[in-house]
Amino acid sequence: MGILEIVKKLEEAGHKKIKFAICDIDGILRSKTLLLDKFIEITEKQAGFCDVVFGWDSSDRCYDNVEITGWHTGYPDKKANIDLNTFRNVPWDNNIPYFLGDFENDENNSACPRTLLKQIRRQATDLGYKAIFAQEFEWFNFLGTPNELAASSFQKLQSLTPGMFGYSQLRPSLYKEFFNELFDLLFQFDIPLESLHTETGPGVYESAIRYDEILKAADKATLFKTAVKEIAYRHGIVSTFMAKWNEDLPGCSGHIHQSIWNADQSKNLFYSGNPTKPMSPLMESYLAGQLYCLPEVLPMYAPTINSFKRLRDGAWAPTTVTWGYDNRTTAVRVLNGDEKSTRLEMRVPGSDMNPYLAMAASLASGLYGIKKGLKLESPAIVGNAYAKQDAVKLPSNLMEATKQMAQSTLANEILGEAFTNHFTKTREWECREFAKAVTDWELKRYFEII
């Protein structure tokens, strides 16, 4: 749909304003609401958007160690493109027109996650491939408002429902208006869900988003997290996508399903058609690339201090560089069905990751394997991957993972040196911020007894 057609549609509907958003390095949508006339003006050129959105962290604290923006540059406006193909209406906000945008990529601005994904997607297109991706999320829900939770210092939180009720028919009926609105309003927002159900844990839901080509899939996954939170607000509920909010409860995943098709999406190139050899050679090389690159790009899948609290043995999250057929203890799960459903599931990401970055890392790693003709160096894990003592272990914390990525020539090669440098600097900042914090654990452990 072109700008003239969009404007005509908006004017006929009586809209006077639109909203558009940029996704920052942490996966947070930073948005503006614009007068319709202003929107028309900037679509003829480009929108100005302060590049501080790539110069501060999730708490709006400015980085002191990045180069592309900062006090030394004066935090200028950068040219942002509004992608008209992302046009949708927000059904829970008076159907306000909504668009996503991204920043031009140049030597002075290499931090935009959506732009990075577009670059990696272009590599696939140039090879004659179409990447089909989908993401699934787990998240916890709590009763209350943001003010109430903040006032309580996030202590004594009341879960939406009590008890461990995975795949429950009973529990969603307690807050059925919220449950049904999630499914129905997200569909109207062009984020169709394949499934929505409770997961094991008090007040936790899981949802699988319908698959699409990779950029649209990342758009939907990014919008999904914010949309869920906004819909939850309508019901006096706060949703969290932390990877591990409680030591004693399961973590929250953000698994990525993926397959490579030919250009017109008529043939799944992962499908072998041979039941005795279920993976095509291309699928094997793609999988080998994902495993080979995984330790070098781990912060793209696990970007926070908290991410690594989820990556623990026996906690439904992988800890090793392993793969297996329909095995939920490995890093990558191979799903072989018919031609339509044959795919890989990258199980490392938690629900706290940035979908653009996680999908970019996934696709870039797989393409690396294809380009290099990599072969699988280890057999499929049968049984418990946590018990495989000889398997390569993933880095166990964000600092270790960030150091490995920052020193990686491989990460520079598949993601670009400028992006890798900026991203790893932001993760180093995250580690420094945590290192100086005094935690509840320290107070309980040391305050009186030490």
Q: How many domains does the chain have?
A: 2
Mean pLDDT of the chain: 95
Residue closest to 181 by CA, chosen among 246, 138, 228: 228
With respect to residue 113, please indicate whether it lies within any of the assigned structural domains. Answer: no
Q: What is the mean pLDDT of residues 294-302?
A: 98
Same domain, 182 and 290: yes
Q: Kindly report, residue by residue over 110-137, the tens digit of the pLDDT.
A: 899 999 999 999 999 999 999 999 999 9
With respect to residue 309, please indicate whether it lies within any of the assigned structural domains. Answer: yes
With respect to residue 441, please indicate whether it lies within any of the assigned structural domains. Answer: no
With respect to residue 431, please indicate whether it lies within any of the assigned structural domains. Answer: no
With respect to residue 302, please indicate whether it lies within any of the assigned structural domains. Answer: yes
The domain boundary, picked from 45, 79, 108, lies at 108
Yes or no: say if 318 and 382 are a contact pair by the CB < 8 Å rule. Answer: no
Position 264, amino acid: D
pTM (whole model) above 0.75 = yes
Q: What is residue 126's predicted lDDT score, i.e. its pLDDT?
A: 98
**CA 266 to each of CA 149, 261, 340: distance values in angstroms, whole numbers, following the listed order:** 49, 7, 10
With respect to residue 442, please indicate whether it lies within any of the assigned structural domains. Answer: no
Q: What is residue 105's predicted lDDT score, i.e. its pLDDT?
A: 66
Same domain, 149 and 90: no
Same domain, 141 and 174: yes
Same domain, 239 and 376: yes
pLDDT at 355 over 90: yes
Yes or no: say if 32 and 20 are a contact pair by the CB < 8 Å rule. Answer: yes
The domain boundary, picked from 78, 108, 138, lies at 108
Same domain, 332 and 291: yes
Question: What distance in Å separates the CA atoms of residue 319 and residue 310, rounded to the nearest whole number?
Answer: 10
Yes or no: say if 52 and 62 are a contact pair by the CB < 8 Å rule. Answer: yes
pLDDT at 343 over 80: yes
**DSSP at 295:** G
Residue closest to 406 by CA, chosen among 116, 66, 121: 66
Same domain, 216 and 314: yes
CATH of the domain at 82: 3.10.20.70
User: Residue 200 — φ and ψ, nearest 5°?
Assistant: -70, 125
Tokens of 71: 């006090």
- Give the residue numbers spanning the domain of 34: 3-108
Same domain, 328 and 393: yes
Same domain, 50 and 92: yes
Question: What distance in Å separates the CA atoms of residue 32 and residue 29, rounded to the nearest whole number?
Answer: 10
Question: What distance in Å separates the CA atoms of residue 241 and residue 141, rounded to the nearest whole number?
Answer: 9
CATH of the domain at 337: 3.30.590.10
Same domain, 148 and 64: no
Taking the CA atoms of residue 68, residue 73, residue 74 and residue 80 in that order, the dihedral angle to the nearest 10 degrees is: -40
**Bridge partners of residue 237, in order along the sequence:** 143
Same domain, 92 and 241: no
Q: Kindly report, residue by residue over 185-206, the tens digit of the pLDDT.
A: 999 999 999 999 999 999 999 9
With respect to residue 92, please indicate whether it lies within any of the assigned structural domains. Answer: yes
pLDDT at 354 over 70: yes
Q: What is residue 106's predicted lDDT score, i.e. its pLDDT?
A: 61
Same domain, 311 and 163: yes
Q: What is residue 371's predicted lDDT score, i.e. its pLDDT?
A: 98
> Is 180 in a helix, a strand, or coil?
helix
Same domain, 182 and 319: yes
With respect to residue 433, please indicate whether it lies within any of the assigned structural domains. Answer: no
User: Residue 115 — φ and ψ, nearest 5°?
Assistant: -65, -40
Tokens of 174: 């307690």
